[in-house]
């Protein structure tokens, strides 16, 4: 009997140690980082495009009489996110133009994969700071773009393929170190876990709405005048089965994502459903920037070794 009580008392500590060991192995197990290159390139292209769009309204974004003067932006941020910050809080008005130009050069350098360990962090600082400079212009696209850039920035990854860094490494006959492989693995895992959180939370939160249960949510989304793409309102209105299908498939794809994306036999199906979901969002709601960034992040679940083997066969 004493042995039973002893085993029971030791169980919580043993369980926690085993779980921590499994978790640490999951995070640090070597993962091919080839797909981080395409992810960085796509995120960088969108960051560059967004930076140019902001520049077209430069005075409205950063000017003293723009949409939200700096002092008002700081006050608004402090009232909602006390720990929030923005690089632009510390930039004098006379230097906003030159700093904007420096930001463009750094973002472009990171996009082409030049010195990613430095330019990645600086790119994230500029993207995040500009997102927080004008909080009322914050959309889902800005949030996911900043988040995924952050994971590449803090791990110093992204230059594993399709990059200037890769070309420089080849010329110097650089052999990847354990640390560089670890950074790639951690970056992949961070992106993967973030995707599971995003889809899982999105799917479960939809279950709070009655229209997601009765199969009419897609009709009301198509009727929303705030987002406009290809109108399918009349088609959904005439076909109740199609309306229900367009409602239930996305929500159950999101709910299933955090569970079924990990088993490799299920992964291709979940990825195809997820990509289809985002293409549908882009087509019907016009949210192409958000959709394409999310599709790019999903590349983290494609095995880089498998992709390289496929390319060698062609």
In whole numbers, what is the pLDDT of the chain averaged over residues?
86
| 306 within a domain of the structure (yes/no) | yes
CA distance 177 to 117: 15
* CB burial of residue 29 (10 Å; 0-12, 13-18, 19+): exposed
Same-domain status, 107 and 58: yes
| 134 within a domain of the structure (yes/no) | yes
Structure confidence at residue 311 as a pLDDT band (50, 70, 90): low
- 109-134 tens-digit pLDDT: 999 999 999 999 999 999 999 988 88
Structure confidence at residue 100 as a pLDDT band (50, 70, 90): very high
Residue 29 pLDDT more than 90? no
Mean pLDDT across 216-227: 77
pLDDT of residue 67: 87
What proportion of the chain, given as a percentage, has pLDDT over 70?
91
Same-domain status, 164 and 216: no
Residue 195 pLDDT more than 90? yes
CA distance 227 to 291: 13
Same-domain status, 170 and 61: yes
pLDDT of residue 215: 85
Same-domain status, 50 and 148: yes
Domain of 43, in residue numbers: 32-175
Number of domains into which the chain is organized: 2
| 180 within a domain of the structure (yes/no) | no
* CA distances to 4, 5, 127, 210, 261 from 12, in Å: 14, 12, 43, 41, 29
| 305 within a domain of the structure (yes/no) | yes
pLDDT of residue 235: 73
Same-domain status, 156 and 237: no
Structure tokens at 291: 């959709």
Same-domain status, 296 and 237: yes
CA distance 119 to 218: 41
Same-domain status, 156 and 225: no
| 196 within a domain of the structure (yes/no) | no
pLDDT of residue 256: 96
Same-domain status, 312 and 222: yes
Structure tokens at 93: 């008005």
Residue 304 pLDDT more than 80? no
Same-domain status, 50 and 170: yes
- 251-302 tens-digit pLDDT: 999 999 999 999 999 999 999 999 999 999 998 888 899 999 999 999 999 9
pLDDT of residue 122: 96
Domain final residue pick, 127, 159, 175: 175
| 5 within a domain of the structure (yes/no) | no
Residue 177 pLDDT more than 60? no
| 151 within a domain of the structure (yes/no) | yes
Same-domain status, 218 and 126: no
Structure confidence at residue 175 as a pLDDT band (50, 70, 90): low
pLDDT of residue 77: 80
Residue 100 falls in which region: left (phi positive, over 0), alpha (psi -120 to 50) or beta:
alpha
Same-domain status, 36 and 118: yes
Residue 147 pLDDT more than 70? yes
Same-domain status, 90 and 144: yes
pLDDT of residue 230: 67
Domain final residue pick, 175, 197, 223: 175
pLDDT of residue 145: 96
Domain final residue pick, 157, 175, 193: 175
pTM of structure? 0.88
pLDDT of residue 291: 95
pLDDT of residue 312: 59
| 241 within a domain of the structure (yes/no) | yes
Structure confidence at residue 172 as a pLDDT band (50, 70, 90): low
């Amino acid at each position: 009997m004493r042995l039973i009580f002893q085993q029971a008392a030791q169980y919580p500590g043993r369980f926690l140690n085993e779980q921590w060991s499994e978790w640490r192995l999951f995070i640090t197990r070597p993962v091919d980082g080839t797909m981080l290159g395409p992810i960085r390139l796509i995120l960088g292209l969108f960051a560059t495009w967004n930076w140019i769009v902001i520049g077209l309204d430069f005075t409205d974004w950063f000017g003293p009489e723009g949409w939200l003067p700096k002092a008002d932006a700081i006050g608004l941020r402090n009232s909602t996110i006390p720990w929030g910050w923005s690089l632009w809080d510390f930039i004098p008005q006379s230097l906003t133009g030159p700093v904007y130009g420096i930001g463009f050069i750094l973002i472009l350098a990171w996009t082409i994969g030049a010195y990613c360990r430095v330019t990645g962090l600086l790119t994230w600082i500029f993207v995040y700071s500009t997102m927080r400079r004008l909080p009322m212009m914050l959309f889902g696209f800005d949030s996911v773009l900043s988040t995924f850039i952050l994971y590449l920035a803090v791990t110093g990854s992204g230059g594993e393929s399709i990059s200037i860094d890769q070309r420089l490494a080849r010329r110097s006959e650089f052999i990847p170190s354990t640390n560089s492989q670890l950074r790639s693995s951690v970056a992949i895992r961070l992106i993967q876990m973030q995707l599971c959180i995003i889809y899982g939370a999105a799917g479960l939160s939809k279950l709070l709405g009655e229209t997601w249960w009765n199969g009419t949510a897609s009709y009301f989304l198509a009727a929303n005048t705030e987002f406009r793409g290809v109108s399918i309102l009349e088609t959904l209105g005439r076909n109740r089965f199609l309306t229900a299908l367009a409602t239930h498939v996305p929500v159950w794809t999101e709910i299933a994502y955090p569970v079924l994306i990990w088993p490799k036999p299920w992964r291709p199906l979940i990825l195809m459903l997820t990509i289809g979901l985002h293409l549908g969002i882009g087509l019907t709601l016009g949210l192409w920037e958000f959709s394409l960034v999310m599709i790019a992040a999903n590349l983290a679940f494609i095995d880089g070794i498998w992709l390289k083997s496929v390319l060698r066969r062609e």
